[in-house]
Each structure stands twice: as structure tokens, then as C-alpha cells.
Amino acid sequence: MIDTHLQHHTKSVLKSGVKLLLKMGITPNQVTILGLILGLGSATAIVMNNTILALILLLSSGLCDILDGILAREQGGGSSLGTLMDITFDRIVEVGIVIALGFAYPYGMFTMMLLLASIVICISVFLTAGIVVNKESHKTFFYAPGIMERTEAFILFSLLIIFPQWIIIIGTVGALLIFATGVQRFILVVKHLS
């Protein structure tokens, strides 16, 4: 939701950083790989009970997730390999964070399982929508907006890292919102196909 509404503003704010990356010869795929490494570093920091490091690494991973797309568009558009890497690596980071939280805070393990299940359902609808809908978009695949997009996911994971004592409540609300996003996208695609 935030991504859809603030995308234009985000692009203009980060343009100078993207220009610097272009001058340095950094590719979008390199930024995507860095985002994966930082995200898995965040998961490791969660297990090590280093909240500040986990949060810094997670937010840095999120920044890479924004920059790789902007960088790809500045270079004339995203590639199929870039799309594959971006979607796959985003899920690896999400799964890593959820598993790390369940491991570090066993009392919230069942909630983390629910969160993981909702992510699987939502991304399944998202990817299937990209396959069945023949529609142009600014990305290399059909993008169905929803309640929980990447920014909201990073906010959710940040709250889970900062407030582990509330992991059951925050995780349950997050799981419900992600599941609702999957339902929302499913309905959107059904209407489009009708």
C-alpha cells in the first residue's frame, strides 16, 4: 500500500544515490545480491540476540530492495534474471527473518509458522496473478497492489525485532494482514479475468 502510493516520491529522493551507483558501475543484480546478504545477516543477528544490528541490516536490505529496481529502470528496464533474483531473494530474506524469530523466541514459534503460511499464500497469489494477467506495468511482471507490500513487510519485521515480547500479537496481526492481501489480490485478478 505504501509502496504503491509513495513510489514516485521514493524514486526522486533516491535518484542521486542511484546516479552514484551508476557512475561506480554497480549493477542492479549486484545490489539485489547485497540485499540478500544483508537480510540474512539480519536473521543471524536476531539469533545472536543483537537487536540493533538486526534492525540496521534489515533496513539496509530493504534499501537495496528499493535501489535495485530504480537502478534497473535507470538502465533501461529490468531483466528477467533480475526479476527472478529479486523475487526469490526477497522471499529468502523473509523466510530467514521469520525462522530466526521463531528460533530466538520459541514462545512465538507457532505465530511465526502462521506468518510464514500467510506469506506463502500471498506470494502464490501474487506470482500466479503475474502469470495469468497479460497486462503491462512499470515492472517486468504484473504487480497487484495490496494492503501489505514490501514497505509494510519491513515495518512488520522491524516491529517483531524491536518488540519480541509482543511477537504473538504483532505476528498474528501481520499474518492476518498478509493473508488479507492475498485474498484482496485474488479477488482483483478474478475481476480482471471476468
Res 28 pLDDT > 60: yes
pLDDT score at 5: 54
CA nearest to 86, candidates 2, 30, 158: 30
Q: Could you give the CA distance from residue 172 to residue 174 in angstroms, rounded to a whole number?
A: 5
CA nearest to 123, candidates 99, 100, 103, 93: 93
Res 120 pLDDT > 80: yes
**Across all residues in the chain, what is the average pLDDT?**
87
List pLDDT tens digits, range 73-92. Answer: 887 777 788 889 999 999 99
CB of 80 within 8 A of CB of 140?
Answer: yes
Q: Could you give the CA distance from residue 114 to residue 110 in angstroms, rounded to a whole number?
A: 6
Alpha helices (runs of H) in the chain, residue ranges in sequence order: 2-24, 28-47, 51-74, 80-104, 109-132, 150-162, 167-193
* Percent of the chain topping pLDDT 90: 57
Q: Which residue has the higher pLDDT, 67 or 117?
A: 117
Residue 3 pLDDT class (50, 70, 90 cuts): low
Res 7 pLDDT > 60: no
Task: Report, at the CATH architecture level, how domain 2-193 is classified.
Answer: Up-down Bundle (1.20)
Q: Which residue has the higher pLDDT, 24 or 58?
A: 58
Q: Which residue has the higher pLDDT, 182 or 131?
A: 182
Res 127 pLDDT > 90: no
Residue 2 pLDDT class (50, 70, 90 cuts): low
pLDDT score at 162: 97
List pLDDT tens digits, range 36-51. Answer: 999 999 999 999 999 9
pLDDT score at 133: 78
Residues 89-117: what's their mean pLDDT? 97
